[in-house]
């Protein structure tokens, strides 16, 4: 009888510890998972600031470019909502969003924070679009028509 009550105590302790561990794991997962809206805001800010930085970097004569001139081109070229939706389902989403958020605090921008696997999987030509949109502002035409996404990425290394 004593052995039965002792084993019942052990079973109760094991079940309680298991439930406690499960609660902690579920709570931690819920905390780290960001909503699609938060991801959209962080991604939009990152892409926009990188785009503006690139426009001013490729400006050959350092001619005056107004920020109001840059915004409509950005909105027309980049579809951030589909990227943010895809990023919310990406395995390393939290890690990528943390890096994007940290980069947005810095003055110098890094356009290479989105993982290549993610960019390829979404079928997005992110680097090509970045160069295309910036050249439309600076040169009033797309001077990087013939570049693939990979070539555009390599060309961007010159500016960053």
Q: Please check whether residues 90 and 137 belong to one and the same domain.
A: yes
Q: Please check whether residues 79 and 23 belong to one and the same domain.
A: no
Q: Please check whether residues 3 and 58 belong to one and the same domain.
A: no
Q: Please check whether residues 113 and 139 belong to one and the same domain.
A: yes
Q: Please check whether residues 25 and 69 belong to one and the same domain.
A: no
Count of the separate structural domains present in the chain: 2
Q: 91 pLDDT band (50/70/90 cuts)?
A: confident
Q: Please check whether residues 20 and 69 belong to one and the same domain.
A: no
pLDDT at position 63: 66
Q: Please check whether residues 16 and 72 belong to one and the same domain.
A: no
Q: Please check whether residues 110 and 66 belong to one and the same domain.
A: yes
Q: Please check whether residues 79 and 21 belong to one and the same domain.
A: no
4-32 residue pLDDT tens:
676 788 888 998 888 888 888 777 655 44
Q: Please check whether residues 114 and 142 belong to one and the same domain.
A: yes
**What's the pTM?**
0.70
Q: Please check whether residues 12 and 57 belong to one and the same domain.
A: no
Structural domain that includes position 22: 1-32
For residue 144, is pLDDT > 80? no
Query: Which DSSP string do the residues of the chain spell out, in sequence order?
Result: -HHHHHHHHHHHHHHHHHHHHHHHHHHHHHHHPPPHHHHHHHHHHHHHHHHHHHHHHH-TT-----HHHHHHHHHHH--HHHHHHHHHTSTTHHHHHHHHHHHHTSSS--TT-S-HHHHHHHT--HHHHHHHHHHHHHHSS-S-TT--HHHHHHHHHHH-
């Amino acid at each position: 009888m004593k052995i039965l009550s002792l084993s019942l105590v052990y079973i109760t302790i094991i079940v309680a510890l298991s439930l406690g561990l499960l609660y902690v794991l579920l709570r931690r997962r819920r905390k780290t998972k960001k909503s699609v809206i938060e991801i959209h805001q962080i991604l939009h800010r990152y892409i926009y600031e990188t785009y503006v930085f690139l426009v001013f970097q490729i400006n050959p004569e350092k001619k005056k470019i107004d920020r109001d001139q840059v915004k409509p081109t950005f909105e027309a070229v980049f579809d951030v909502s589909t990227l943010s939706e895809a990023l919310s389902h990406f395995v390393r989403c939290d890690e990528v969003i943390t890096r994007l958020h940290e980069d947005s605090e810095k003055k110098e921008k890094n356009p290479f924070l989105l993982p290549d696997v993610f960019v390829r999987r979404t079928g997005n030509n992110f680097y090509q679009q970045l160069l295309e949109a910036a050249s439309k502002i600076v040169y009033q035409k797309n001077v990087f028509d013939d570049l693939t996404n990979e070539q555009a990425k390599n060309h961007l290394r010159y500016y960053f």
